Chains A and B, each alone.
Chain A
């Protein structure tokens, strides 16, 4: 649907020959018209989400549906916490995300600095391996890794979700290395001549200069952990240990779906991400653009 609209706009541009100015103006207006239509399409599901979360149950199941609830009912938001232990899931997600972010930032910055700046023997070889692991589908290692954690007795704990992050994440190592390489070498060389060791240079000079990129990594890894579904599904089987992504499915029984509370719960899951996005917007965009765009 969107594509058809984009195509439909192009004949407008042919009129350019008649009058440059009129053509430019029409082009401008049609661009805005398209943007407004597309924005409406993209934003509509959000409105639907919020609308449904505020509808009482009988209104959520009427046809034709109402976009703006006739009756504003905040009971769904209360039910979220009484129907299932949503508060517990929230806390679990926060605990897991906190430690994953901590582990990812600590390990990935150190490893990335090694790859960016220390010309040891075999560096290029290991860097190619690192990039290779980014392409590796996690399903290939999923079963043996599950067996390892199972042997350790870590099933139904947060450890399988948290511990691997302390060994660095290839994607973030790559991202940070790209950032570190943009820092002028002269700074580090001066520090070296002033008697600073390599780790000191990394800790006292490079890291403080890389705060924006570290924030980017922290935000992205938080987001991915918060959203993660497959690993909690495999490792957590006790209701009290569920993270949000797993816990919210409690509202969707095989026969009965609690529409209103389910949407209210969705709003509550999305909310921290939206807030973080607005607080750290430039870091998000920067992080995504750096790894995707440049190389």
Chain B
């Protein structure tokens, strides 16, 4: 029944021809209008304005004076906190993202082994990623509390050296990474979907060829889910570069101890909304933009465009 109607539709569509295309274009723009307006007001316009502000000494009030490359020059040559916050962010990203990826992937692989109560386990691993960052940060402050926290109690029980965790210059970033691993179940769900879409016939063929479990994992599972892994890796990097809330909560908004938890966006926030150096903060924002743009371009380069969307017809 659909066939005849489709033929008729195609015929009518063809006849209407060019005029139809025009009205369709008009319709298209009517439908995307809300987003289009929002794009200009909240994205395109502010981007241009923010780029302009990065060349000024704008303070949020009064006039913005053009200072040329002064902000950028100061960032790179005269601002130790810029480098400190960049280093903090890179450290957190380099260790946190791959670890989170491995934990999430391993959880997914374990769950994909056709286990009973899979739903129960999946829920247990996934739930922590639902917890609001503010709430999980407060919880981990208690767990990591040096005097009566459970983390030190466990170490103490096994006669291992205890730590000051979030209050220690060396341990504050590793502590934040441990906190982030608790939420690794969010990535697990994505991997699980990827693992479940690997055709069983591939494994059967490999088994006939005498491949063991490890070989199957290495030569089938990983390559077949590489898209998902790579997607998660890049999204993880982008997200990790924007870490803010955890650090703000555990350090009571000052990035301590001794700026060791002052991450990039945290520093940007302080400059903009605490010290009202809006021009300077805009320069910081644009450097962040360029860093993230590079991640994104790498992703497109490696993957081609079809990872995210497909053009139709």
On A, residues with C-beta under 8 Å from B are 2-3, 6, 10, 13, 16, 27, 31-32, 34-35, 38-39, 42-43, 45-46, 48-49, 52, 60-65, 67, 107, 110-111, 113-115, 118-124, 126-127, 129-131, 133, 135-148, 150, 164, 166-168, 170, 173-174, 181, 186, 189-190, 192-193, 198, 202, 223, 226-227, 229-230, 233-234, 244-245, 248-249, 251-252, 254, 257, 259, 262-263, 266, 269-270, 273-274, 277, 281, 285, 288-289, 292-295
Q: Are A295 and B31 in contact (CB under 8 A)?
A: no
CB of B197, distance to nearest CB on chain A (Å): 7
Q: Are B50 and A144 in contact (CB under 8 A)?
A: yes
Contacts of A245 in B (CB 8 A): 132, 134
Chain A: which residue is nearest B12 at the CB level?
A193
Rounded to whole angstroms, the CA-CA distance of A174 and B235 in the bound complex is: 15
Q: Are B285 and A143 in contact (CB under 8 A)?
A: yes
On B, residues with C-beta under 8 Å from A are 2, 5-6, 8-9, 12, 21, 24-32, 34-39, 41-43, 45-47, 49-50, 53, 60, 99, 102-103, 106-107, 110-111, 113, 115, 121, 123-125, 127-128, 130-136, 138-143, 147-150, 153, 156-157, 181-182, 185-186, 189-190, 192-194, 197, 212-214, 227-228, 231-232, 235, 238, 241-242, 244-245, 248-249, 252, 265, 268-269, 272-273, 278, 281-282, 284-286, 288-289, 292-293, 296, 306-312
Rounded to whole angstroms, the CA-CA distance of A38 and B110 in the bound complex is: 10
Rounded to whole angstroms, the CA-CA distance of A288 and B122 in the bound complex is: 14
Known A192-B9, A248-B134, A266-B138: A289·B50 in contact at CB below 8 Å? no
Q: Are A252 and B138 in contact (CB under 8 A)?
A: yes
- Which label, helix, strand, loop or mixed, suits the secondary structure of the B interface? helix
Known A121-B25, A167-B38: A65·B245 in contact at CB below 8 Å? no
Q: Are A139 and B242 in contact (CB under 8 A)?
A: yes
A and B contact pairs by CB, cutoff 8 A, 25 listed: A27-B213, A31-B115, A42-B185, A115-B32, A120-B27, A122-B28, A131-B309, A136-B292, A137-B288, A141-B47, A141-B50, A145-B42, A146-B272, A167-B34, A167-B39, A229-B245, A233-B269, A252-B141, A266-B135, A269-B132, A273-B130, A273-B132, A277-B130, A292-B193, A295-B308
Q: Are A164 and B124 in contact (CB under 8 A)?
A: no
Q: Given contacts A139-B285, A166-B38, could you give 4 more A-B pairs where the C-beta distance is less than 8 Å?
A: A42-B127, A139-B265, A148-B41, A270-B131
CB of B43, distance to nearest CB on chain A (Å): 6
Known A118-B27, A292-B190, A293-B190: A127·B139 in contact at CB below 8 Å? no
- Which label, helix, strand, loop or mixed, suits the secondary structure of the A interface? helix
Rounded to whole angstroms, the CA-CA distance of A277 and B150 in the bound complex is: 28
CB of A115, distance to nearest CB on chain B (Å): 7
Rounded to whole angstroms, the CA-CA distance of A93 and B5 in the bound complex is: 50
CB of A126, distance to nearest CB on chain B (Å): 6
Rounded to whole angstroms, the CA-CA distance of A285 and B242 in the bound complex is: 24
Rounded to whole angstroms, the CA-CA distance of A135 and B239 in the bound complex is: 10
Contacts of B107 in A (CB 8 A): 38
Contacts of B47 in A (CB 8 A): 136, 140-141, 144
CB of B216, distance to nearest CB on chain A (Å): 11
Chain B: which residue is nearest A27 at the CB level?
B213
Q: Are B289 and A136 in contact (CB under 8 A)?
A: yes
Interchain residue pairs A-B with the least CB separation, the first 4: A167-B38, A120-B28, A114-B31, A289-B193
